[in-house]
Structure 1
Amino acid sequence: MDLRDFHFIMIKPTHYDDDGYPIQWLRSAIPSNTLASLNGLAEAARERNALGEGVHIHLHAYDETNKRVMPGKIARDIKKRGGKALIALVGVQSNQFPRAADLARKFMAEGVQTAIGGFHVSGCISMLDEMPAELVELQDEGVSYFAGEAEDRRLDQVFRDAWDSDLKPLYNFMADLPSLGGEPTPILPSKHIQFTAGSHSSFDLGRGCPYQCSFCTIINVQGRKSRFRSADDLERIIRDNYEQGINRFFITDDNFARNREWEPLFDRLIALREKENFDIKFIIQVDTLCHRIENFIEKATRAGVNRVFIGLENINPDNLLAAKKRQNKITEYREMLQKWRNHGATTYAGYIIGFPGDTKEAVLRDVEIIKKELPLDLLEFFYLTPLPGSEDHKVLLSKNTWMDPDLNKYDLNHRVSHHPKMTDTEWEEAYREAWESYYSDEHIETVLRRAAAHPKGRPGNKLFLMMWFKLMVQHEGVHPLEGGYFRLKFRRDRRSGLPIEHPLVFYPKYFWQIVSKHWASVAAVWRVHRIYKKVKASPDRRSYSDIAIAPMDKASEEDLAMIKETRGGTEAVAKSARDAALRKAGKERAKASASA
């Protein structure tokens, strides 16, 4: 036993399913960027002896989506090894706060210092005049909070306070967002990455967003002034991860297209791929105007971007305006998606259901329009959710408007407020039927045909991804972003306040769920795989075309249902024409000035 040991235990909590069990998998899909970032910062603190010579800092990381967290066992291990410890529940979103609170109370009961950080804490402190009751209650029990970002050696202060058994109730850095340049590499040991789907990890190259979307928490947590890592930082991140066999990455920047250093960053990745033969691939997130940036899509795909998530959000201009998402232009959607398709990238898009102008009929109509007229591969649906830390939440709170008190439901996959036009039932039906419509066998076949028609289409990859989304929603009852392979449940890990089920109830039910879900999944995969084989075997698959992928002039595009049948579409076309005329006039003036 060494009393000069300090244990820093980083835990990224999951959240509970509707039955009160943590959502966990044998293999989860998306690695935690927060966990990788904090682990990298903690490794740097250890290397510089943040607690002085002679104190050994031990780091332990848990991603609860794929690793069971047992507070009692962890506490016993700490006591056995000796020294002091700090439990850090990191990256806690609003829907994860109930789970984080349950874990925190268990660790505190074991006598282990505990702190919570993440978007829920930071968002509430950023936007609300008073700390919410759930935060106050837990703080009164001795849990500390960390608001803001941990770069700029801020962990050193927290480590010293924990070593002195004198944690502050709140570490608030919201008014001082740090630079990212030169900061330590976001990295997790490969032993943690093996529990995700493939050799994937994640990191960010920029934080902050200049836009003002009212449903977004990022602008109020990470700020509206963008901060970036350098190309040298990026290369170090890639090399450090590549050395331990990690070569697939999710760049978590909310909008990579607004990173002013995008070109040097892509150029560095291109050099690694083309000059040093690095086998690296990336998923990035962009806005709907990225195709206007000269060479952006071309360089992105050369750099290894093979999947791109696009903040489409809606095809109704009035809804976009109501949410202050003025940057989205529905007249640009089709051209942008076609350009990504032509360069071989798989396109994802998020679509929000529940804007003030929505009705069930309008939502389902718009989904049909998207299926027919936009060459999207994957579409993810979300409830419009007043997330703590967003302007929407603050407005509803100020008006004393009902919002569901159960934070566990704030995962964008549950309805947590009422709608001005739809009943609660209609809203829930619109959400459920939107998923069913887009991931119907008929539309899966359409997407596969579009992919098979293009030399870079990768229909097999499209099949896998579409079936993943379909099965997570239909058979696992979770959003695909929370999905994984083989659901794990542990009887005693149930949410506080709910009874622990008797073994003769829990285990037969769990076994039946495993069997029935896998049987249904196998049947669905077999059925759709036959469609895939038919598409692949079609001798004329290269000649397939439809409205979404066919070239079209501007006059014809104005006849699209997306323009004609959605409210505000005509005005959007007119504005697009005016903007194009102004851009043309500006170019002509610049040309004339240069000639003079």
Structure 2
Amino acid sequence: MAAAAKRTTFHLVLIKPTHYDDDGYPITWFRSHIPSNTLAALYGLGEDCRQRQVLGPDVDILIKPFDETNARVRPDKIMAEIKRTGGKALICLVGVQSNQFPHAVDLARHFLKAGLPVAMGGFHAAGCLSMLPVVPPEIQAAMDMGISIYAGEAEEGRLDEVLLDAWHRRLKPLYNYMDDLPGIEGAPTPHLPPAALARNEGRKSSFDLGRGCPFQCSFCTIINVQGRKSRFRSTDDLEAIIRENHKQGITSFFITDDNMARNKHWEEFFDRLIELKENEGIAVSLIIQVDTQCHRIPNFIQKARWAGVYRVFIGLENVNPDNLLAAKKRQNKITEYRKMLQAWHISGASTWAGYILGFPGDTRESILRDLEIIKKELPLDILEFFMLTPLPGSEDHQTLWKQGVWMDPDLNKYDLNHRVVHHPKMSDAEYEQTYRDAWRIYYTPEHIETVARRHGSIPGRNPAEPAQFMTMFKIMFEAENIHPLEGGIVRLKYRRDRRYGMPIEPIGVFHWKLALETVRKLKIYGRLAWQGWRIGQKVRFDPKRHEYTDLALEPVGEDEMDKLSLFADTAGGGAAVTKKRGEDLARAKVAAAHNQQRLEAAE
């Protein structure tokens, strides 16, 4: 009894913050679409610290994870719980992206005022400290407030150090591990408790199997935050992750690797998943990210589907080779786009692609023209539009920073859905209008039906599914005025949670505005949901649906490529075809020479 009375509690509070909408309210949902990998990874690391008793055998570590995209964060309640149960605490704001930085700082204010230690990590801090020669003013201001900044990853015992420093009240202003990224093989299993996972739509979770990327895309932060040297988990790590989540009934995952096709263990991973499915009935559903060359890897698509991949996100980025070259996206070959997308389509997987608007060579006319070509000639399902944004941590941001070019000082806008720089060929108003129009042009009822018919032509495929997802994207953009990747089910908004410095509206005014906003949204939801449902059912019950075909689904020979608008009408398209034919001819000559040498050797 005496020993039990001496036990002490340490509260580890992990908060993955959201960011503010245009009215200054945190974007939070009753159920969110995309689970947080960072939160799962840090919860697993925290659990490992608890089991190893890193703070001593007489200290109980209590871990509370909060994903603010699906759970309102109430600092007052968190602090009251800590005070009620006693002990020490550390508030960790994790995975903080640039657009989430202002809100993360605002959350920290509450805890710091109560005397609780706060640490903050994520892509913004890591990216800035890895690419800029000085500490940016917003990060310095955060440290001056008392926030401890963490740059880097927390495996290999680094979380131990932070917890011990918090326990002994000696947190450093800055923990910078950007020059020493840890290995992740054998690292503690990323997972979350059932209560947290239940707030994800469809009871999904996420994990990574590799970090780092060898490519050099100038708009990307991953290569400068996670490094250009790839690091991997093992196949046994993968199995442990699947089994841990399977015990909680979680079998649907988003694998957050920036490019699963470049993970050197991809085949071992897929084989293990296939074994678990066939030998033990543990089947999983997976969303993965790949590059535009993945179809050239023998058996990659086939094994991916067999292993449970049903949706792939592809960094298409653009159909203009000049734009891709300017962004150092040299690995993307537009001459391979149709083959790659057709291969995924035939396999039955759903394809989602990122598409960037606002490259220096873009004009309103070229963007709208290219979108019509994509709709007609590429068998693509979801197209996600992003404004070209100099994200802190990217080469683009570093270049503009060094040149002293204006970039919007409000980090909350750095969500790829807001303009934060001036475009050289379009006015600010024209650029912003073109971005909005791109969503409307791609997600027309006619094109949603086209995509549904393309899927409906495949026996066993439900054409209502792509119609449903495309409609969901359209609803998020039109009704919620946010990027669909930030979407969820039932938006939650609270009067007192407004951005620091903005006035708290009177209760009557706030709720009157909220009521009007809700009515407006419900009308849009109802109209578009009904429209999408009718399209899906129309195609689903069409007796001739399996006979459908169009230009995007038809194979085009190498000698006919320049007849496609993708190559004939886009800037640089014709040159890309000419270059490919030259490369193919050179390879053919080399192969012929090798065959001749073998014949001569045989004689």
Normalising by the residue count of structure 2, what TM-score does the alignment of the two structures yield?
Answer: 0.97
Whether 1:340 aligns to 2:348 is no
Shift of 1:25: 0.5
- One-letter identity of the residue aligned with 1:381: F
Task: Give the corresponding residue for 1:269.
Answer: 273
Q: Which residue of 2 aligns with 1:59?
A: 63
After TM superposition, the structure 1 = structure 2 runs for residues 525-544 of structure 1, keeping only pairs within 5 Å, are 525-544=529-548
Q: Show the counterpart of 2:573.
A: 569
- Conserved? CA contact 2:378–2:552, under 8 Å: yes
2:177 paired residue among 173, 177, 180: 173
Query: Could you tell which deviates more after superposition, 352-361 or 506-515?
Result: 506-515
| TM-superposed deviation, 1:556 | 2.2
Aligned position for 2:301: 297
Quick one: which of 249, 252, 256 aligns to 2:260?
Answer: 256
> Secondary structure at the residue paired with 1:50?
coil
Q: Please tell me whether residue 409 in structure 1 is matched to residue 429 in structure 2.
A: no
Stretch deviating more after TM superposition (314-323 or 502-511): 502-511
Residue 267 of structure 1: how far off its partner (Å): 0.6
How far did residue 274 of structure 1 move?
A: 2.1
Deviation at 1:590, TM superposition (A): 5.5
Contact 1:309–1:348 at 8 Å: present in 2 too? yes
Tell me the distance in 2 between the aligned counterparts of 1:2 and 1:438. 64
Aligned to 1:107: 111
User: Equivalent residue for 2:13?
Assistant: 9
1:120 paired to 2:99: no
Conservation of the 8 A alpha-carbon contact between 1:343 and 1:456:
no
- The residue aligned with 2:206 is 202
> Structure 1: where are the runs of 5+ without partners?
none
Q: Which whole-Å deviations, capped at 9, do the CAs of 1:544-571 have from their partners, x for residues lacking one? A: 1110011221222221101011111111
1:208-256 deviation per Cα after TM superposition (whole angstroms, max 9, x unaligned): 0000000000000000000111111111100110111000000000011
The equivalences for 1:459-538 within 5 A come to 459-538=463-542
Q: Which residue does the alignment assign to 2:289?
A: 285
Q: Deviations over 1:312-367 (max 9, x none)?
A: 00000000000000000000000000000111100000000000000011001100
CA contact (8 A) 1:215 1:387 kept: yes
Aligned pair partner of 2:388 in 375, 384, 391: 384
More divergent stretch after superposition (85-94 vs 579-588): 579-588
Of the structure 1 ranges 524-533 and 21-30, higher mean CA displacement relative to structure 2 is found in: 524-533
Superposition deviation, residue 273 in structure 1? 1.6
Q: Is the 8 A contact 1:288 1:311 kept in 2?
A: yes
5 Å matches for 1:55-204? 55-204=59-208
- 1:456 offset after TM fit, Å? 4.7
Residue 559 of structure 2 is aligned with which of 540, 544, 555? 555
Please tell me whether the aligned partners of residues 467 and 535 of structure 2 are also in contact (alpha carbons under 8 angstroms): no
Give me the whole-angstrom Cα distance separating, in 1, the residues matched to 2:155 and 2:420: 34
CA gap of 1:167–1:336, structure 2 versus 1, over 3 A, is same
Secondary structure, counterpart of 1:183 in structure 2: coil
Distance of 2:583 and 2:253 partners within structure 1? 37
Q: Which runs of 5+ in 2 are unaligned?
A: none
1:422 matched to which residue of 2? 426
Q: Is the 8 A contact 1:452 1:535 kept in 2?
A: yes
Cα displacement (A) at 1:593: 6.3
Distance in 2 between the 1:286 and 1:475 partners?
30
User: Secondary structure of the equivalent of 2:105?
Assistant: helix
- C-alpha displacement at 1:512, in angstroms? 2.1
Indicate which of 38, 43, 46 corresponds to 1:34.
38
Q: CA deviation digits over 1:467-519, x for unaligned, max 9?
A: 11000001011111100010000000000010000011001211222222122
Asked whether 1:233 is paired with 2:237, we answer: yes
Paired with 2:231 and 2:405, the residues of 1 have a C-alpha distance of 35
Q: Closer, same or farther in 2 for the Cα pair 1:100/1:589, shift >3 Å?
A: farther
> Quick check: 1:356 aligned with 2:347?
no
Counterpart of 2:458 in structure 1 is 454
The amino acid of 2:199's aligned partner reads F
Q: Using a 3 Å threshold, how does the CA distance of structure 1 residues 89 and 594 change in structure 2: closer, same or farther?
A: farther
Tell me: CA distance 1:9–1:268, structure 2 relative to 1, closer, same or farther (3 Å). same
CA distance in 1, matches of 2:184, 2:417: 32
Larger mean CA deviation between 498-507 and 72-81 belongs to: 72-81
Residue of structure 2 equivalent to 1:437: 441
Contact 2:464–2:537 under 8 Å retained in 1: no
1:314 aligned onto 2:309? no
Question: Contact 2:468 / 2:536 at 8 angstroms: preserved in 1?
Answer: no
**Paired letter, 1:149:** E
CA-to-partner distance for each residue in 1:289-317, whole Å, 9 max, x for gaps?
Answer: 00011111111111100000000000000
Distance 1:518 1:128 in 2: 45
- Write the distance in 2 (CA, Å) between the matches of 1:43 and 1:451: 43
Give every structure 1 segment of 4 or more consecutive aligned residues whose post-TM-superposition deviation is greater than 3 Å.
582-596
User: Which stretch shifts more, 333-342 or 450-459?
Assistant: 450-459
Output the amino acid matched with 1:176: D
Paired amino acid for 2:409: P
How far residue 275 of structure 1 moved from its aligned partner, in angstroms, is: 2.2
Deviation larger for 11-20 or 104-113: 104-113
1:370 aligns with 2:374: yes
1:288–1:332 contact (8 Å) kept in structure 2? yes
Question: After alignment, is 505-514 or 374-383 more displaced?
Answer: 505-514
Q: TM-score, normalised by structure 1?
A: 0.98
Q: Deviations over 1:442-470 (max 9, x none)?
A: 11011111111112533121122101100
Counterpart of 1:558 in 2: which secondary structure? Answer: helix
* Equivalent position amino acid for 2:49 in 1: A
Correspondence 1:545 to 2:561: no
Structure 2 CA distance, aligned partners of 1:406 and 1:268? 46
CA-CA distance at 1:2 after TM superposition: 6.7
Deviation at 1:587, TM superposition (A): 4.4
Identity in percent: 59
Which amino acid is the alignment partner of residue 532 of structure 2?
Answer: V
CA distance in 2 between partners of 1:290 and 1:408 (Å) = 34
State the shift of 1:586 in Å: 4.5
- Worse-superposed segment, 458-467 or 115-124: 458-467
572, 583, 588: which one aligns with 1:584 = 588
Task: Note the C-alpha offset of 1:278.
Answer: 1.6
| Residue from 36, 46, 50 that aligns with 1:46 | 50
Q: In structure 1, how many angstroms separate the alpha carbons of the residues matched to 2:556 and 2:216?
A: 33
CA contact 2:449–2:467 (8 Å) conserved in 1: no
- Given that 1:228 and 1:259 are in contact with CA atoms closer than 8 Å, whether structure 2 keeps it comes out as yes
**For residues 401 and 108 of structure 1, what CA distance do their matches in structure 2 show?**
35
What is the alpha-carbon distance in structure 1 between the residues aligned to residue 221 and residue 527 of structure 2?
Answer: 40
SS of residue paired to 2:563 = coil
